[in-house]
């Protein structure tokens, strides 16, 4: 632990900024001479310990020197506080092992150790982090400061005030009633918001401590050191209420003005038979003073209570604006001044717990294409546009509804279902927004939840609205969608499946099977399609129709696809080594894979690492995939063709690709979808589509293969139509690589023939 640091001789106590000079180790006082104030520093930053002891180590407070006790974590402090005695002040870092380690330690000090006398000053080096107001109030926090604002003078002032408070509390500890009333008064004050409410509360609590009626004023004197003696009334009660919101002069009320001037000059409390004047030592630039009429002079105990009260209130008066600011920052959006996500969830929880739930709707409002507007016109313009949207929502929908901004370009409206409906809200975007003389037309997509149909918390309701919003976006922009219970079940099942799929992949539950492709005339195997399968530990198979979309949605398809590609290419090499040199391996490629920026690198690396001959590797893409982003697809297919790999369009005939477009694509083969193969024997339309695909392939110089061939009649019709290749259960079901090698043996082939 670092030693206490004594300020060098010649240093100026009135210098406000800490100057780090050569450090001198102070010798600890013998135990017999420990008539000291013990200050415990709890902080995980050693520099904070050093600078604090440097700033205060050579100073006396209340006629005693300071002795420092050091703890470098909340856990260490817990152990030390079990046996350390007479700790007067704790300087406590809020954020240590965890973001709220300091607040948990405060709870431990007050509730478990029952240390009610020790004064606690919270400090943080993270200005964006603030302890909860409830924690400040409930655990008797003496002060809260950011480390950057605690210069030497301010640190000295804060610790001195805390020690005075500690000393006075200890001196009057025998009066449990008085202490209870002070705690009550402080608690009541901390529950008040705003400077004016706090000031009025001070007068009310002074009167309550004295069992008197509240007839008084509380004033602030700005810049007294600069010779300014103006007294501004912050609050006035009882017979003095006429002084509210005025500048108090001798002309307004000579008796009160004179008493306040005397108190300010003496810088102490003044007690008389018919009045008291209390001095609250504030920051250097402002001093607070209160006057109150009394029917009797305060007792000695009451004077002691008032001294303690004034010491606590002085800190509160200085920091009430800070606390109000922290509360606003925690619960309100800085740009729009609307409630933020945290505050909205509080409002939602309250709504769900009350009768308003019966007819309330929650609506998320997502501005369409706002990012493009923001990028094109600048973030400053975007902020003005967001503020304009916030104002229109709030002003047009009425104050009885809650309008919030929960992040980015997403707003939220909560209230009666009759007003929170898609027509009303979408209609607000019909007129353009005028920003800096420029009209901007916006639209919005909505996700809605009827709270009557919701059983969870406010946070859960917000999640459900987000699910509905995502569903609305998949349908159309400027549309809307209401959340339903089935959607929640669907999402939870998707998440469960996603986690199970990741686990299954890591535990080798997924494997590749191969379905042979044969020449319809000779029934000779010409190749195979690699297919992915998933068998869970309980022996059940999960359909690819279920897990492939989840893999695509989660991005896992990138790793899965590469693994399938490498595995099937390795199988191709093994088949060639066994003598099956004319065999082609067909591999399905997901749209997500195909769009990945490193797809070509993945393909080239797989070919290189496995040694698979590219002319015997075929990649299958779907027709719908081929129709999207044609320019990108044409360039990508050209790069694939350069590797020597061939291209097939799977499920051909299910989309709407044009002949002119097909001619531009460098593809090698069309696959007739199994639905059209089934039609050959089961539909009045018969073989018309299959025949069209075969003819199209012949005209374009493309090979054709039919999938899903399940009976001999289908095979014969396809052969008569001129389709050269087929695959399906008629020839073989999908099989493992080992089984495929056996199937391709002479005996297996003889059986097929």
CATH code for the domain in which residue 366 is found: 3.30.70.270
- Among the residue ranges 75-84, 256-265, 367-376, 558-567, the one predicted with the least confidence is 367-376
DSSP letter string, 304-362: HHHHHHHHHHHHHHHHHHHHHHHHHHHHB-TTT-SB-HHHHHHHHHHHHTSGGGGGEEE
Strand pairing report for 270-271 and 216-222? unpaired
Judged against a pLDDT cut of 90, whether residue 191 lies above it is answered with: no
> At which of 171, 187, 220 does a domain end?
171
Give the chain's mean pLDDT. Answer: 83
Residues 113 and 197 in one domain: no
CATH number, residue 266 = 3.30.450.40
Judged against a pLDDT cut of 90, whether residue 470 lies above it is answered with: no
Residue 14 has what pLDDT?
Answer: 40
d(Cα 655, Cα 330) in Å, to the nearest integer? 52
Is residue 496, in this structure, part of any structural domain at all? no
Region 548-569: what's the mean pLDDT?
Answer: 92
Residues 605 and 705 in one domain: yes
Residue 15 has what pLDDT?
Answer: 39
Is residue 315, in this structure, part of any structural domain at all? yes
Judged against a pLDDT cut of 90, whether residue 692 lies above it is answered with: no
Residues 59 and 191 in one domain: no
Judged against a pLDDT cut of 90, whether residue 487 lies above it is answered with: no
pLDDT, tens digit, 9 for 90 and up, residues 507-550: 999 999 999 999 999 999 999 999 999 999 999 999 999 899 88
What is the token pair recorded at 371? Answer: 């990012």
Residue 23 has what pLDDT?
Answer: 36
Is residue 252, in this structure, part of any structural domain at all? yes
Instruction: Give the CA distances from residue 547 to residues 412, 488, 542, 560, in Å, rounded to whole numbers and listed in that order.
Output: 34, 18, 7, 11
Residue 625 half-sphere exposure toward CB, CA atoms < 13 A: 19
Residue 143 has what pLDDT?
Answer: 82
CATH number, residue 582 = 3.20.20.450
Domain count of the chain? 4
CB atoms within 10 A of CB 574: 15
- Among the residue ranges 185-194, 363-372, 393-402, 682-691, the one predicted with the least confidence is 185-194
Judged against a pLDDT cut of 70, whether residue 285 lies above it is answered with: no
Region 731-750: what's the mean pLDDT?
Answer: 82
Highest mean pLDDT among 282-296, 645-659, 704-718: 704-718
Spell out the residues 6+ positions from residue 715 whose beta carbon is closer than 8 angstroms to its own. 520, 709, 726, 730
Is residue 494, in this structure, part of any structural domain at all? no
Q: Provide, for the chain, the percentages of residues in helix, strand and coil under a 3-state DSSP scheme, each rounded to the nearest 5.
A: 50, 20, 30
- Among the residue ranges 4-8, 325-329, 397-401, 658-662, the one predicted with the least confidence is 4-8
The answer to whether 689 and 653 are in contact (CB under 8 A) is yes
Residue 202 has what pLDDT?
Answer: 85
Residues 227 and 203 in one domain: yes
**At 369, is the secondary structure helix, strand, or coil?**
coil
> At which of 120, 139, 171 does a domain end?
171
Judged against a pLDDT cut of 50, whether residue 441 lies above it is answered with: yes
Residues 424 and 470 in one domain: yes
d(Cα 12, Cα 567) in Å, to the nearest integer? 77
Residue 133 has what pLDDT?
Answer: 66
489 phi, psi to nearest 5 deg: -60, -45
Highest mean pLDDT among 132-141, 324-333, 611-620: 611-620
Q: What percentage of the chain carries pLDDT values higher than 70?
A: 82
Range of the domain at 584: 505-752
Top-confidence residue, 134 or 49 = 49
Is residue 242, in this structure, part of any structural domain at all? yes
Residue 553 has what pLDDT?
Answer: 81
Region 711-719: what's the mean pLDDT?
Answer: 93
Residues 355 and 479 in one domain: yes
Kindly report the three-state secondary structure assignment for every residue of 142-170. EEEEEHHHCCHHHHHHHHHHHHHHHHHHH
Would the pTM of this model clear 0.75, i.e. be above it? Answer: no
Residues 360 and 444 in one domain: yes
Element (H, E) at 197: helix 195-209
Question: Residue 685's pLDDT band (boundaries 50, 70, 90)?
Answer: low
Residue 183 has what pLDDT?
Answer: 65
Residues 669 and 718 in one domain: yes
Residue 26 has what pLDDT?
Answer: 40
Residue 60 has what pLDDT?
Answer: 85
Question: Residue 96's pLDDT band (boundaries 50, 70, 90)?
Answer: confident
Is residue 263, in this structure, part of any structural domain at all? yes
Closest C-alpha to 569, from 645, 642, 506, 631: 645
Residues 530 and 594 in one domain: yes
> At which of 451, 483, 515 does a domain end?
483
Residue 611 has what pLDDT?
Answer: 97
Judged against a pLDDT cut of 80, whether residue 181 lies above it is answered with: no
Is residue 493, in this structure, part of any structural domain at all? no
Residues 22 and 161 in one domain: yes
DSSP letter string, 373-422: HHHHH-HHHHHHHHHHHHHHHHHHH-TTSEEEEEETTEEEEEEETTTSSH
d(Cα 253, Cα 435) in Å, to the nearest integer? 52
pLDDT, tens digit, 9 for 90 and up, residues 236-266: 999 898 888 778 888 888 899 999 999 988 8
DSSP letter string, 426-468: HHTTSSPEEETTEEE---EEEEEEEGGG--S-HHHHHHHHHHH
CATH number, residue 72 = 3.40.50.2300
d(Cα 428, Cα 596) in Å, to the nearest integer? 39
Residue 739 has what pLDDT?
Answer: 94
Residue 72 has what pLDDT?
Answer: 94
Residues 587 and 603 in one domain: yes
- Among the residue ranges 248-262, 266-280, 456-470, 677-691, the one predicted with the least confidence is 677-691
- Among the residue ranges 133-137, 293-297, 615-619, 738-742, the one predicted with the least confidence is 133-137
pLDDT, tens digit, 9 for 90 and up, residues 11-46: 334 433 433 333 333 444 443 345 899 999 999 989
Highest mean pLDDT among 352-366, 518-532, 585-599, 676-690: 518-532
Residues 194 and 325 in one domain: yes
Is residue 491, in this structure, part of any structural domain at all? no
Tell me the torsion sign for CA atoms 126, 129, 135, 141: positive
Residue 11 has what pLDDT?
Answer: 37
d(Cα 676, Cα 475) in Å, to the nearest integer? 29
């Amino acid at each position: 632990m670092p030693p206490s640091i004594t300020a060098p001789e010649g240093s100026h106590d009135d210098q406000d900024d800490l100057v780090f000079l050569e450090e001198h180790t102070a010798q600890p006082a013998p135990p017999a001479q420990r008539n000291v104030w013990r200050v415990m520093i709890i902080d995980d930053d050693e520099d904070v310990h050093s600078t604090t002891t440097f700033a205060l180590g050579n100073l006396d407070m209340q006629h005693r020197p300071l002795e420092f006790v050091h703890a470098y974590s909340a856990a260490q402090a817990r152990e030390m506080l079990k046996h350390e005695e007479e700790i007067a002040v704790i300087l406590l870092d809020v954020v240590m092992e965890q973001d709220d380690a300091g607040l948990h330690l405060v709870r431990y000090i007050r509730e478990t150790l029952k240390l009610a006398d020790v004064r606690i000053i919270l400090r943080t080096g993270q200005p964006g982090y603030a302890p909860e107001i409830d924690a400040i109030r409930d655990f008797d926090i003496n002060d809260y400061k950011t480390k950057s604002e605690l210069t030497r003078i301010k640190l000295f002032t804060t610790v001195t005030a805390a020690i005075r408070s500690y000393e006075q509390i200890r001196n009057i500890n025998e009066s449990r009633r008085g202490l209870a009333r002070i705690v009550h008064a402080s608690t009541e004050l901390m529950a008040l918001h705003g400077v004016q409410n706090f000031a009025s509360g001070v007068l009310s609590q002074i009167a309550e401590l004295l069992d008197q009626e509240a007839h008084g004023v509380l004033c602030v004197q700005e810049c007294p050191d600069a010779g300014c003696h103006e007294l501004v009334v912050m609050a006035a009660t009882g017979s003095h209420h006429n002084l509210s919101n005025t500048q108090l002069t001798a002309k307004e009320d000579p008796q009160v003005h004179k008493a306040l001037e005397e108190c300010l000059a003496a810088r102490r409390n003044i007690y008389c038979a018919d009045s008291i004047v209390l001095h609250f030592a504030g920051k250097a630039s402002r001093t607070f003073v209160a006057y109150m009429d009394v029917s009797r002079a305060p007792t000695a105990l009451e004077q002691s209570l008032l001294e303690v009260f004034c010491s606590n209130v002085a800190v509160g008066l200085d920091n009430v604006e800070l606390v109000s600011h922290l509360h606003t920052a925690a619960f309100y959006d800085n740009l729009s001044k609307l409630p933020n996500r945290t505050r909205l969830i509080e409002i939602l929880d309250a709504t769900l717990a009350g009768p308003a739930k019966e007819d309330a709707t929650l609506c998320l409002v997502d501005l369409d294409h706002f990012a493009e507007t923001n990028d094109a016109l600048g973030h400053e313009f975007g902020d003005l546009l967001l503020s304009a949207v916030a104002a229109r929502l709030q002003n047009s929908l009425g104050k009885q509804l809650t309008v919030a901004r929960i992040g980015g370009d997403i707003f939220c409206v909560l209230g009666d279902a009759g007003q929170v409906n898609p027509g009303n809200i979408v209609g607000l975007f019909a007129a353009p927004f005028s920003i800096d003389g420029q009209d901007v037309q916006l639209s919005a997509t909505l996700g809605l939840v009827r709270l009557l149909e919701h059983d969870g918390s406010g946070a859960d309701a917000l999640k459900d609205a987000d699910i509905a919003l995502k569903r609305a976006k998949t349908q159309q922009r400027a549309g809307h969608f209401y959340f339903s219970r089935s959607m929640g079940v669907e999402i939870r099942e998707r998440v469960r499946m996603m986690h199970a799929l990741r686990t299954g992949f890591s535990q080798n539950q997924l494997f590749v099977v191969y379905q042979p492709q044969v020449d319809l005339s000779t029934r000779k195997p010409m190749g195979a399609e690699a297919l992915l399968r998933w068998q869970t530990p309980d022996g059940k198979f999960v359909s690819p129709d279920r897990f492939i979309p989840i893999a695509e949605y989660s991005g896992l398809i990138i790793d899965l696809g590469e693994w399938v590609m490498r595995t099937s290419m390795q199988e191709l090499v093994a088949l060639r080594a066994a003598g099956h040199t004319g065999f082609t391996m067909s591999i399905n490629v997901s749209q997500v894979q195909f769009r990945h920026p490193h797809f070509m690198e993945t393909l080239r690396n797989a070919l290189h690492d496995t040694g698979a001959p590219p002319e015997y590797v075929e990649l299958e893409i779907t027709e719908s995939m081929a129709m999207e982003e044609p320019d990108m697809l044409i360039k990508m297919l050209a790069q694939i063709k350069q590797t020597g790999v061939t291209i097939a369009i799977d499920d051909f005939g299910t989309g709407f690709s044009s002949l002119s477009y097909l001619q531009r694509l460098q593809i090698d083969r069309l696959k007739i979808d199994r639905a059209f193969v089934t039609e050959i024997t089961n539909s009045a339309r018969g073989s018309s589509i299959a025949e069209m695909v075969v003819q199209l392939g012949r005209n374009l110089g493309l090979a054709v293969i039919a999938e899903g061939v399940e009976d001999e009649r289908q095979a014969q019709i396809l052969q008569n139509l001129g389709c050269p290749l087929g695959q399906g259960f008629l020839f073989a079901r999908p099989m493992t690589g080992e089984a495929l090698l056996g199937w391709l043996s002479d005996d297996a082939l003889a059986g097929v023939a």
